[in-house]
């Protein structure tokens, strides 16, 4: 499972002109699911996302995690993170999970995130989404399990 996190001042997701998820200060998580991922992968990635220290402390050092900073988490499914770009000029998605597998793990990830943190918003799985954000820093990290 892969997660690209971006520290944001705000972020929102629209589907068909309708806002389906939004946060103020926090993390935008683009979430990719491979065919080999399972609930254990989801739990490990969620632990990293919630506890990764990317927010500044009182001295300006990245020393606080999402919950310590009181930020929101916006989770957006992103199957293109699983692309193999090593050969040619067209990505291959053979390692990406099937839509059914990926949606089940995406839903599980969201369910577990909402149990552990009360400031969780999401996009809509497999929808044509428009994501807007104001990257803070910029601070962007790829997390993998």
The 3-state DSSP class for residue 89 equals: coil
What is each CA distance from 13 to 1, 27, 61, 81, 102, in whole angstroms? 21, 13, 29, 18, 19
Q: Which helix (H) or strand (E) holds 45?
A: helix 39-51
Q: How far apart are CA 61 and CA 70, in angstroms?
A: 16
Q: Is 80 a catalytic residue?
A: yes
Question: Looking at residue 50, what DSSP letter applies?
Answer: H
Q: Catalytic one among 6, 55, 79, 109? A: 79
Q: Catalytic one among 6, 55, 78, 109? A: 78
* Residue among 109, 104, 86, 139 nearest 2 (CA): 109
Q: Which residue has the tokens 């200060």?
A: 25
Q: Is 79 a catalytic residue?
A: yes
Q: Is 140 a catalytic residue?
A: no
Q: Catalytic one among 40, 68, 80, 85? A: 80
Q: Give the active site residues.
A: 78-80
């Amino acid at each position: 499972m892969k997660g690209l996190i971006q520290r944001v001042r705000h972020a929102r997701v629209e589907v068909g002109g309708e806002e389906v998820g939004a946060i103020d200060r926090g993390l935008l998580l683009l979430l990719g699911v491979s065919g080999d991922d399972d609930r254990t992968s989801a739990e490990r990635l969620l632990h990293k996302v919630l506890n990764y220290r990317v927010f500044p402390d009182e001295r300006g050092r990245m020393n606080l995690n999402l919950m310590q900073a009181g930020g929101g988490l916006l989770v957006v499914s992103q199957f293109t993170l699983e692309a193999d770009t090593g050969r040619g000029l067209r990505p291959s998605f053979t390692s990406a999970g099937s839509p059914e597998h990926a949606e089940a793990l995406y839903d599980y990830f969201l369910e577990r995130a909402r149990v552990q943190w009360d400031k969780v918003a999401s996009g809509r799985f497999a929808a044509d989404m428009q994501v807007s954000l104001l990257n803070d820093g910029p601070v962007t990290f790829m997390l993998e399990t």
